[in-house]
């Protein structure tokens, strides 16, 4: 029984261990994306629906403005996959669909994905699993791959949140999810808790999660020694991750120190769940040192329940976290702190300046009268703490009720599962209700003052709205003119493009013609070069013959000169010989003339060859 909330709500929030497997899950409440109204959300949870009921539901709700529908914990199965797809198609404004606990297998998931999710443009949240293990869906890696393939094919999809808790996924599913996340920019929330990913699957998945805002890898059978490197890289690299759960995984002390340092340097992280991770004293000290000394940490919500925190040293460091950080919610359930540890926390809550902590849970922490009394006395002057949970502890009717009566700010005080009488619990509930009423009565007066102070601003706002309307009209006129100018510019660009295209065609034609002429000139040049080489060879041959003839002529002239000299000598000496020599000269003269004629002929031939080699040559 709870003093300030219904018993069922207390059991859900306290997270006290029970006989079911669901009690091992963290007590962090699910955060709806918007405040749903009764008109746009429907719940058919645990009604034992089958395929026929789902088909009837699709017909009855067709065209309705339903934005959220819960079909969890029914008996739908793979046979109802077509009916579920029809239901999605029949609801044009559906944003959230909960299908957890319906024994859906890979075949059913594949049918839903291929028939509807490949084209759906409204669905934002899809839940195929949840922490409660009642008729879980056996999606497996095969079904997951089909689902991710359909989502990847839908370029206009809006599914930003995907819950796959307890859906029989294994290590190979980590690779499929990582490949999808590397190319995806829509998904921001992923829950794969309660699946046996092991360290291998989680190590594969973590590097691809830098764009996510929420990641839940609780109870995935991974170990800190094997995943701490990838997890630290993610925490240092991410600029979006605001909520992280690594609960119910064994994080050894050594890697936990490294993880704590990375957590303290992750500025976007607001919510952290490290319940049942085997932190103990060493882990708490490492986490506290990191958070207290961090200049960038903005952590607001911390769950370190069920971590065997019992030593005073650990409690002292938890008190440091409360007093020296911006933490607003702290859950320490199922840690044997005892009275000594709670007294340390009480000292931190009673310190100045007042810590910003709003909610503190100490369920199943072995708190007795001394610890509770110290806590109540510390909270008398603390206006910040509004919710305190002391469920399932060692309190009884000997608890001094006057200490609780002095608490004027506490609005929720949970004392269920203690040995307190119904009368005392009722009185405590009345005190909490009185505090809540006091806050509510103060709010209208404060709002009245605020409204009065805002009246001048309202008048100014009206003037600004009027001016904004005029500006909007002017903007409309200018936008219209801009549209007309844009159309003219578009036509002008089209004309320029057409002209440029014609010019390009002309240039291409001229280039082709020039290329042909260049080829023709190259062929003529090659022919001239070949002719020149042949003429050079012939000229060389003729020149050699001419030189031979010139040599012969020179020899003959020299011989004539010698003969003339001999003739002159012999003319004087031998008149008879002179007559003979003259006869020889007369005989040699025709031959000389013949050689001269041959020389002249050869010169003409040589000139003709030179002229022939220069035919068609233009320098």
Domain boundaries of the chain, sorted by first residue: 38-157, 169-307, 517-613
Quote the tokens at residue 283. Answer: 């882990």
pLDDT band at 591 (very low <50, low <70, confident <90, very high): confident
Give the separation between CA 433 and CA 430, rounded to whole angstroms. Answer: 5
Mean pLDDT for 265-272 is: 94
- pLDDT above 50 (res 344): yes
Half-sphere exposure of 214 (CA within 13 A, CB side): 17
> Which tens digit of pLDDT belongs to each residue from 425-438?
999 999 999 988 88
Mean predicted confidence (pLDDT) in 172-196: 95
Q: Check pLDDT > 90 for residue 553.
A: no
The secondary structure of 142-186 as a DSSP string is HHHHHHHHHHHH-TT----EEE-TTS---HHHHHHHHHHHHH-SS
Which pLDDT band holds residue 39 (cuts at 50, 70, 90)? low
Report how far residue 143's alpha carbon sits from residue 124's, in angstroms, rounded to the nearest whole number. Answer: 19
Q: What does the pLDDT average to over 15-27?
A: 36
Burial (CB < 10 A; 0-12, 13-18, 19+), residue 193, is buried
Question: So what's the pLDDT on residue 583?
Answer: 81
Spatial contact of 350 and 382, defined as CB atoms under 8 Å apart? yes
Q: Whole-angstrom Cα distance, residue 114 to residue 154?
A: 10
| Residues sharing a CB contact under 8 Å with residue 307, sequence separation 6 or more, in sequence order | 274, 275, 276, 277, 278, 279, 280, 283, 284, 335
Report the C-alpha gap between 558 and 273 in whole angstroms. 126
Residue 455, pLDDT above cutoff 80: yes
Could you identify the residue written with the tokens 């999660």? 209
Q: Which two tokens stand for residue 302?
A: 């911390």
Tokens matching residue 145: 């791959």
| Half-sphere exposure at residue 452, Cβ-oriented, CA atoms within 13 angstroms | 6
If you classify domain 169-307 with CATH, what class do you get? alpha beta
Please tell me the distance from the alpha carbon of residue 2 to that of residue 487, in angstroms, as a whole number: 70
Q: Checking DSSP bridges between strand 387-389 and strand 412-414, what pairing results, if any? A: parallel
Question: What percent of the chain is modeled with pLDDT above 90?
Answer: 57
Q: How far apart are CA 578 and CA 51, in angstroms?
A: 151
Percent of the chain at pLDDT exceeding 70: 91
Q: What is the pLDDT of residue 200?
A: 95
The structure tokens 């009642």 sit at: 134
pLDDT of 17 above 70 = no
Q: pLDDT at position 556, please?
A: 86
- Residue 473, judged by CB atoms within 10 A of its CB (0-12, 13-18, 19+), counts as exposed
38-157 is a CATH 3.40.50.1820 domain:
no
Dihedrals phi, psi of 121, to nearest 5 degrees: -120, 5
Dihedral sign (CA 583, 587, 590, 592): negative
- Inter-helix orientation angle 312-324/338-349, to 10°: 20
Residue 25 has pLDDT above 80, yes or no: no
Report how far apart, in Å, the C-alpha atoms of 613 and of each of 21, 102, 599, 616 are.
107, 100, 21, 9
Q: Which residue has the higher pLDDT, 405 or 3?
A: 405
**Least trusted range by pLDDT, from 79-83, 392-396, 473-477:** 473-477
The dihedrals phi and psi of 190, each to the nearest 5 degrees, come to -135, 130
DSSP 70: E
User: Model confidence at 532, in pLDDT bands (50, 70, 90)?
Assistant: confident
Residue range 132-154: average pLDDT?
90
- What are φ and ψ of residue 299, in 5° steps? -60, 130
Which whole number is the average pLDDT over 413-436?
Answer: 92
CA 408/CA 382 separation, integer angstroms: 9
Local structure of residue 115 (DSSP, 8 states): I
* Mean pLDDT (whole number) for 342-357: 93
Residue 70, strand partner residues: 43, 98
Q: What pTM did the predictor assign?
A: 0.67
Q: Which two tokens stand for residue 521?
A: 């000139």
| Other Cβ atoms closer than 10 A to 316 | 17
Dist. CA 137–CA 103, nearest whole Å: 4
pLDDT at 128: 94
- Per-residue DSSP letter, 113: I
End-to-end alpha carbon distance in the chain = 115
Please list, in sequence order, all residues whose beta carbon lies within 8 angstroms of the beta carbon of residue 241, skipping any fewer than 6 positions away: 209, 210, 212, 213, 214, 215, 234, 235, 266, 268, 269
Indicate the average pLDDT of the chain.
87
């Amino acid at each position: 029984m709870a003093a300030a909330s219904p018993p069922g709500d207390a059991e859900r929030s306290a997270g006290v261990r029970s006989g079911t497997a669901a009690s091992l899950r963290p007590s962090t409440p699910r955060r709806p994306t918007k405040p749903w109204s009764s008109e746009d959300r429907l719940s058919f949870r645990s009604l034992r629906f089958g395929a026929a009921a789902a088909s009837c539901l699709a017909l009855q709700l067709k065209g309705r403005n339903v934005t959220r529908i819960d079909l969890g914990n029914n008996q739908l199965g793979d046979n109802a996959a077509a009916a579920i797809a029809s239901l999605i198609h029949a609801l044009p404004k559906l944003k959230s669909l909960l299908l957890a606990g319906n024994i859906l297998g890979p075949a059913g998931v594949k049918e839903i994905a291929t028939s509807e999710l490949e084209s759906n443009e409204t669905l934002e949240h899809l839940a195929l699993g949840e922490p409660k293990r009642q008729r879980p869906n056996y999606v497996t890696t095969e079904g997951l791959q089909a689902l991710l393939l359909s989502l990847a094919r839908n370029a206009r999809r809006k599914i930003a949140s995907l819950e796959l808790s307890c859906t029989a996924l294994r290590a190979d599913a980590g690779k499929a999810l990582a490949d999808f996340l590397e190319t995806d920019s829509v998904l921001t929330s992923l829950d794969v808790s309660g699946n046996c990913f092991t360290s291998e699957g989680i190590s594969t998945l973590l590097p691809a999660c830098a764009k996510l805002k929420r990641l839940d890898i609780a109870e995935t059978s991974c170990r800190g020694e094997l995943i701490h490197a990838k997890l630290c890289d993610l925490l240092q690299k991410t600029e979006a991750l605001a909520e992280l759960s690594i609960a119910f995984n064994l994080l050894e002390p050594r890697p936990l120190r490294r993880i704590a340092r990375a957590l303290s340097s992750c500025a976007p992280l607001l919510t952290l769940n490290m319940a049942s991770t085997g932190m103990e004293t060493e882990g708490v000290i490492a986490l506290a040192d990191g958070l207290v000394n961090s200049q960038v940490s903005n952590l607001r919500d911390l769950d370190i329940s069920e971590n065997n925190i019992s030593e005073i040293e650990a409690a002292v460091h938890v008190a440091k976290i409360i007093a020296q950080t911006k933490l607003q919610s702290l859950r320490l359930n199922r840690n044997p702190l005892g009275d000594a540890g709670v007294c340390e926390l009480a000292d931190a809550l009673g310190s100045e300046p007042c810590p910003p902590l709003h909610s503190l849970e100490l369920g199943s922490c072995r708190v007795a009268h001394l610890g509770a009394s110290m806590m109540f006395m510390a909270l008398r002057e603390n206006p910040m703490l509004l919710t305190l949970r002391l469920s399932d502890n060692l309190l009884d009717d000997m608890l001094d009720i006057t200490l609780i009566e002095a608490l004027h700010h506490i609005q929720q005080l949970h004392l269920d599962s203690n040995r307190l009488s119904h009368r005392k619990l009722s009185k405590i509930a009345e005190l909490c209700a009185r505090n809540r009423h006091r806050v509510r009565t103060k709010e209208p007066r404060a709002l009245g003052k605020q409204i009065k102070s805002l009246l001048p601003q309202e008048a100014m706002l009206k003037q600004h709205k009027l001016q904004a309307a005029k500006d909007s009209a002017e903007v409309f006129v200018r936008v219209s003119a801009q549209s007309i100018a844009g159309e003219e510019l578009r036509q002008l660009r089209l004309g320029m493009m057409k002209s440029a295209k014609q010019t390009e065609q002309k240039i291409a034609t001229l280039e082709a013609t020039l290329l042909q002429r260049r080829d023709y000139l190259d062929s003529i040049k090659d022919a001239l070069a070949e002719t020149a080489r042949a003429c050079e060879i012939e000229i060389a041959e003729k020149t050699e013959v001419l030189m031979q003839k010139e040599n012969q002529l020179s020899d003959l002239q020299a011989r004539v000169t010698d003969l003339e000299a001999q003739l002159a000598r012999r003319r004087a000496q031998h008149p008879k010989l002179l007559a003979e020599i003259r006869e020889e000269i007369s005989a040699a003269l025709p031959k000389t003339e013949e050689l001269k004629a041959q020389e002249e002929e050869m010169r003409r031939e040589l000139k003709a060859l030179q002229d022939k080699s220069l035919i068609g040559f233009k320098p």
